[in-house]
Amino acid sequence: MRGALPRGFRDILPTEARELHAIERSLMTTFARHGYVPLEPPSVEFAEGAVTVDERRTLRFLDRDGRLLALRPDVTTAVARVVAQRYRDADAALRLAYFTPIFREEASMRGSEREYDQAGVELIGDPSLRADAEIIALLATALAHCGLPGVDIDIGHVGYLDGFIAELPEGPRAAVGVAARAGDLVGTTQLARDAGMPATRIAALERGLRHRATDLDGPRKDAPAASCRALDALAALAPLLEAAGVGGAVRFDLGFIPSLPYYSGIVFQVTVPDLGFPIANGGRYDGLLARFGADRPATGFGIAIPHLHQALVAAGWQAPSDSPLLILEPHHDDATTLRVATALRAAGAAVAIGDVAEHAGQDVRRARVVDDAHLEYEGVVRAIEAVVAVLAGRAPR
């Protein structure tokens, strides 16, 4: 078992870790610029607390008290708990951001990871369309600042499908919703037909889910009033997204139905070419927090960092490097070597003494310590300050 890890877990080696840290810094900076403050939930929750993840997909264990615990399967559960405990009676909106590993049980041999980073935000306490637009624009901006070109955001509204389902008798209603969220569009229409949905409605639903709406008027034909209200919301959202500067990246897609059951309004996902999984998704989930005793409207999104990282690397992205790492060939007097290294670092340079086994993809330069004030750099003996200036790109070589 030497060197082995449980399936679905892996070491993130220095080059990738540097890249992930760069992604984290970029995302959290963008979130902070939009007023989102960080939340760091614990790694472990009570197993029965998880709301957004099927309990079979949580990694569970017993602690010494005999309580069944789960490694955090999402952050939404923690957000819901914190809101219910501490901000239940707040009137103002709460804006939270996170970047943290989450854990999901996966069937073996599916090539899936059981631990991966997720970043996201939650905007709690604002039911307005402006809040939906804010969240979608923030997602587009955060990905663009990260260096990812050409993302597409598909925006749907679960109210469109729900409007059709609401007309069915109570029994089949749930089954139709389950089929639609599972992606079974054959079963969705078949169950709706069996439950007595008229043929014109079925045709309208099938059209709505299958064809991308070039405008939002086509899908109104033969659609229930409740579904038309969902279309009204999308129509009103469009100019807000335009105003927020992300009009070009979005397209409406009534056929986008998230698999999680708790979404209640506008929903969205981000895809890039040549990646079979979405990079991010999210939407409005009014009503979920009520289960924790804090009935507040909410919307938010989560970014699957491994997918974002994959897409960035595929687009030729490299982690930004502050300054090159200077590798010092030491002086025979150790004290001199240490004094020079300290002086270089004080002047802002990144310095390692002696050769290094792992560059982690950084730009590396070499210099030899000559005496307390001088280095030999690129064949020329220079003063410490001169070397620092060259490294920082402030002086000619």
Partner 1 sequence: MTPLRIALSQGTLLADTRAALAAAGLATDALAEGSRRLVVPAAGVEYVLARPSDVPTHVAHGSADLGIVGKDVLLETEADVLELVDLGFGRCRFVVAAPAGSVDRSFDEYRHLGSLEVATKYPRVAERHFQGRGIQVELIKLGGSVELAPQVGLADWIVDLVSTGRTLRENHLAVVEEIAVCTARLIANRVSYARDRDRIAALASTLQAWAAGRPATAS
Told to check if 275 binds partner 1 by CB under 8 A, we report: yes
**Interface of this chain with partner 1, residues 157 to 196, rule: CB under 8 A:** 183-187, 190
**β-bridge mates for residue 174, sequence order:** none
Told to check if 221 binds partner 1 by CB under 8 A, we report: no
Of the two residues 204 and 350, which places its CB atom closer to partner 1 in the complex? 204
Told to check if 273 binds partner 1 by CB under 8 A, we report: yes
**DSSP for 41-110, written as a single string:** --SEEEGGG--SS-GGGS-EEE-TTS-EEEE---SHHHHHHHHHHHSTT--S-EEEEEEEEEE----TTS
Binding mask 2-31 for partner 1 (x = CB under 8 A): ------------------------------
Residue type at 368 in one-letter notation:
R
Told to check if 277 binds partner 1 by CB under 8 A, we report: yes
231-235 own/partner pairs: CB under 8 Å, 24+ apart:
231/157, 231/160, 233/129, 233/157, 233/159, 233/265, 233/266, 234/155, 234/157, 234/266
Told to check if 210 binds partner 1 by CB under 8 A, we report: yes
Told to check if 1 binds partner 1 by CB under 8 A, we report: no
Q: How far is the CB of 385 from partner 1 (least distance, A)?
A: 53
Told to check if 259 binds partner 1 by CB under 8 A, we report: yes
Of the two residues 239 and 273, which places its CB atom closer to partner 1 in the complex? 273
196 Rama sector, left if φ>0, alpha if ψ -120 to 50, beta otherwise: left
The Cα–Cα gap between 24 and 308 comes to 11
The three-point CA angle 183-187-191 to 5° equals 135
Segments of 233-387 assigned E as strands? 250-252, 266-271, 280-284, 298-304, 325-329, 350-353, 364-371, 374-377, 380-383
Q: How far is the CB of 276 from partner 1 (least distance, A)?
A: 2
Question: Of 122-130, 142-150, 233-241, 254-262, which part binds partner 1 (CB under 8 A)?
Answer: 254-262
Told to check if 113 binds partner 1 by CB under 8 A, we report: no
Pick the binder of partner 1 from 212, 221, 291, 345 (CB under 8 A): 212
Question: Of 90-98, 209-217, 314-322, 340-348, which part binds partner 1 (CB under 8 A)?
Answer: 209-217
**Residues written for the chain:** 397
Told to check if 154 binds partner 1 by CB under 8 A, we report: yes
Told to check if 115 binds partner 1 by CB under 8 A, we report: no
Pick the binder of partner 1 from 152, 232, 286, 376 (CB under 8 A): 152
**Interface of this chain with partner 1, residues 189 to 208, rule: CB under 8 A:** 190
Residues sharing a CB contact under 8 Å with residue 228, sequence separation 6 or more, in sequence order:
163, 220
**Interface of this chain with partner 1, residues 92 to 111, rule: CB under 8 A:** 110-111
Q: How far is the CB of 186 from partner 1 (least distance, A)?
A: 5
**β-bridge mates for residue 68, sequence order:** 62
8 Rama sector, left if φ>0, alpha if ψ -120 to 50, beta otherwise: left
Pick the binder of partner 1 from 99, 116, 164, 256 (CB under 8 A): 256
The Cα–Cα gap between 8 and 114 comes to 5
State the residues that interact with partner 1 by CB under 8 A.
110-111, 152, 154, 183-187, 190, 210-212, 253, 255-256, 259, 269, 271, 273, 275-278
